[in-house]
């Protein structure tokens, strides 16, 4: 099986399957306890959406609906074919809900045309004005009226793209919709989720995912007749993308004009009406259902969306019942793993079990069944490093104190501002030899890079490294991080990657047993990394060139963190100009990068300033003891 096909099948499985550890070998429990029916539910414009409905056989009581709307198939199809598990985890399945799975408009067995992160229509004037909110409303309305033995209450949940469809249920929500849980929701594909980060194309994800997901579907189909995965001619992902050359080569050689989303990338290189229309957060007003936004700090796909969704609801709905849960998880890790560890890092407890038992199941039981009690904190957060759950009355916590960590000469990092008047580091960045995002050879983009050892990068001359002295006390960071760089370049454009790293002591023991020979002594754990396409430093709508040699500020936000740097550790910051092939290469020349030729990619000399007048620094909030 090809690497990309493996990736695609894994993606489909992860988005459609419940907890990996909860899978039964067959569908025996579901068959014994649920009756499956399939319906094509009509929308207001006449389009019908394929829907699988699992109804509890015990009809001695009424049940609420728990709905999952997905572009990843409601498979298996056929009323005689049952899923092996329902909901996010076994306890949810055994609790008893009417589980509803729906192929969204234009995907798999549903009618209509699919539109990636379909724009919201705020003021609908006719039945032809449809969006995901109206499709959700019409689905709920039909379910309430046509499925017997329901109690008139509905909940919606979903991870990633289904998380987006959960979010879109909120604007103009149906009165029966009582509880919504967007989990790692796709939220903004230009600023921070999946395919762009601060204007930089996330190349590996965009190409591998859309090479299959983006293939047009002229009529309803089942997965066995769906598109086949792209076969990489070179198994080393770094080499494949580097040898492919500029991004336009990938389009011309592999996609032509067959992938609509890829065409849209080329047609809309800057933040314009196309991308703004696809940002759901502006429509999250007048929210009435209870909301629990869930995400992982080490989510390689949608860490941004989790915090942006929660904060947008808070800002626009001060009285809404809206809470946040964030843990040490990869994409969907709260139901796809035990959450005891990730990559090389152990958290000392099954964090996913805690979440399932104390948050998700009680949330839906309380709001949909009026059972039990549910009095959660505004924000329930797992802090790595100290490895403990914390409850806060706000996020970021109001009691946190703002601190600034300054880059210093000689690779130092300190909370004291530099007093020198002439201090900088100078180095050369070559886009034809970009800094890899992870050590070793990968056949697919790994999820572990979000928390992985950064010693490989620290050894490169085009990665500048700064670290504190050994910490004499614990320091806990909570909330977003602002990177405030003062730089210059001999080019007219540049990317900037800032990585916040926890450096372990030299006497840190390695795990036992240790089959992979992990060396924790001096380990450089990535806590948070983020990229900024420099030409967007002042505006995503109107890119600006750098003036060669001119001292310039590049300020941008990194997604939220919750991490304790323990006494005896060090805080490290790495700064670099490429992160490949996670992000596409910047030619270091001001231009539309989608039009770049091989000859446009050029070396540039960069300076990072750290003097009294030009202080590069990171600003964040710290929990006070």
Distance, C-alpha 177 to centroid of its chain: 25
Which tokens belong to 76? 């298996």
Sign of torsion over alpha carbons 198, 202, 203, 206: negative
At 338 the three-state DSSP class reads coil
d(CA 565, CA 567): 7
Pairing of strands 48-56, 63-70: unpaired
pLDDT in tens, 452-466: 999 999 999 999 999
Average pLDDT, the chain: 94
Direct distance between the N- and C-terminal alpha carbons of the chain, in angstroms, rounded to an integer: 53
CA 164 – CA 182 distance, rounded (Å)? 7
Contact 195, 202 (CB under 8 A): yes
What SS3 state is found at 450?
helix
At 141 the three-state DSSP class reads helix
Determine contact, residues 562/382, Cβ cutoff 8 Å.
yes
DSSP string, 97-133: -EEEEEEPTTSTTS-S---TTPPP-SS--STT---HH
For residue range 500-526, what is the model confidence (pLDDT) as tens digits?
999 999 999 998 888 889 999 999 999
Q: What is the pLDDT of residues 161-200, one digit of tens each?
A: 999 999 999 999 999 999 999 999 999 999 999 999 999 9
E runs forming strands in 474-611: 475-489, 495-503, 524-533, 552-565, 570-576, 604-609
**Cβ atoms of residues 371 and 361 within 8 Å:** no
Query: Which domains does the chain show, CATH number per domain?
Result: 3-188+278-294+301-307 (3.40.50.1820), 401-622 (2.60.120.260)
The pTM assigned to this predicted structure is: 0.94
Contact 59, 98 (CB under 8 A): no
pLDDT of 23 over the 70 cut: no
Sign of torsion over alpha carbons 511, 517, 523, 524? negative
Q: Please name the residue that has the structure tokens 């407890």.
A: 349
Distance CA 367, CA 504 (A): 44
List pLDDT tens digits, range 75-124: 999 999 999 999 999 999 999 999 999 999 999 999 999 999 999 999 99
CA of 446: how far to CAs of 428, 443, 480, in Å? 28, 9, 24
The helix/strand/coil state of 269 is coil
Report residue 254 as tokens.
């592999």
């Amino acid at each position: 099986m090809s690497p990309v096909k493996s990736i695609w099948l894994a993606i489909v499985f992860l988005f459609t399957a419940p907890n990996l550890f909860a899978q039964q070998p067959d569908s025996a429990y579901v068959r014994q306890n649920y009756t499956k029916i399939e319906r094509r539910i009509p929308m207001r414009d006449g389009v019908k959406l394929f829907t699988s409905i699992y109804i509890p056989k015990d009809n001695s009581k009424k049940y609420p609906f728990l709905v999952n709307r997905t572009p990843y198939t409601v498979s298996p199809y056929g009323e005689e074919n049952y899923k092996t598990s329902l909901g996010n985890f076994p306890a949810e399945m055994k609790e008893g809900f009417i589980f509803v799975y729906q192929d969204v408009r234009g995907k798999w067995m549903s009618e209509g045309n699919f539109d990636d992160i379909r724009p919201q229509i705020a003021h609908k004037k006719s039945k032809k004005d449809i969006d995901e909110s109206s499709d959700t409303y019409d689905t709920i309305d039909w379910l309430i009226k046509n499925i017997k033995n329901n109690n008139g209450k509905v909940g919606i949940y979903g991870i990633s793209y289904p998380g987006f469809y959960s979010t879109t249920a909120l604007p103009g929500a149906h009165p029966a919709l009582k509880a919504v849980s967007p989990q790692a929701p796709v939220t903004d594909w230009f600023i921070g989720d999946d395919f762009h980060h601060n204007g930089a194309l996330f190349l590996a994800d965009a190409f591998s995912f859309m090479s299959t997901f983006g293939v047009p579907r002229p009529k309803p189909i089942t997965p066995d007749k769906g598109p086949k995965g792209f076969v990489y001619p070179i198994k080393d992902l770094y080499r494949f993308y580097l040898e492919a050359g500029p991004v336009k080569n990938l389009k011309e050689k592999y996609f032509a004009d067959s992938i609509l989303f890829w065409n849209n990338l080329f047609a809309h290189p800057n933040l314009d009406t196309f991308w703004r229309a696809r940002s759901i957060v502006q429509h999250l007003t007048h929210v009435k259902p209870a909301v629990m936004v869930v995400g992982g700090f080490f989510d390689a796909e949608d860490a941004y969306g989790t915090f942006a969704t929660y904060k947008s609801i808070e800002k626009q709905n001060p009285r809404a019942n809206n809470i946040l849960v964030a843990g040490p998880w990869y994409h969907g890790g709260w139901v796809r793993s035990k959450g005891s560890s990730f990559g090389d890092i152990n958290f000392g407890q099954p964090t996913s079990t805690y979440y399932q038992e104390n948050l998700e199941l009680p949330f839906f039981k309380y709001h949909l069944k009026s059972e039990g009690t549910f009095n959660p904190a505004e924000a329930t957060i797992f802090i790595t490093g100290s490895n403990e759950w914390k409850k806060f009355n706000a996020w970021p916590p109001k009691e946190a104190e703002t601190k600034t960590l300054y880059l210093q000469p000689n690779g130092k990092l300190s909370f004291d501002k530099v007093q020198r008047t002439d201090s900088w580091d100078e180095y050369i960045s070559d886009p034809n030899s970009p800094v890899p995002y992870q050590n070793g050879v990968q056949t697919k983009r790994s999820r572990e890079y979000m928390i992985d050892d950064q010693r490989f990068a620290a050894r490169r001359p085009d990665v500048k490294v700064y670290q504190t002295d050994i910490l004499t006390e614990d320091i806990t960071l909570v909330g977003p991080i602002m990177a405030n760089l003062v730089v210059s370049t001999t080019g007219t454009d540049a990317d900037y990657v800032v990585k916040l790293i926890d450096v372990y002591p030299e006497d840190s023991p390695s795990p036992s047993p240790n089959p992979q020979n992990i060396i924790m002594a001096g380990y450089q754990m990535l806590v948070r990394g983020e990229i900024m396409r420099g030409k967007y430093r002042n505006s995503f709508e109107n890119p600006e060139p750098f003036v060669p040699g001119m001292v310039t500020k590049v300020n941008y936000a990194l997604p939220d963190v919750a991490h304790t740097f323990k006494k005896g550790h060090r805080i490290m910051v790495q700064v670099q100009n490429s992160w490949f092939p996670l992000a596409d290469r910047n030619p270091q020349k001001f231009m539309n990068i989608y039009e770049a030729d091989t000859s446009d990619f050029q070396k540039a000399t960069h300076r990072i300033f750290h003097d009294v007048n030009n202080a590069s620094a990171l600003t964040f909030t710290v929990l006070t003891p």
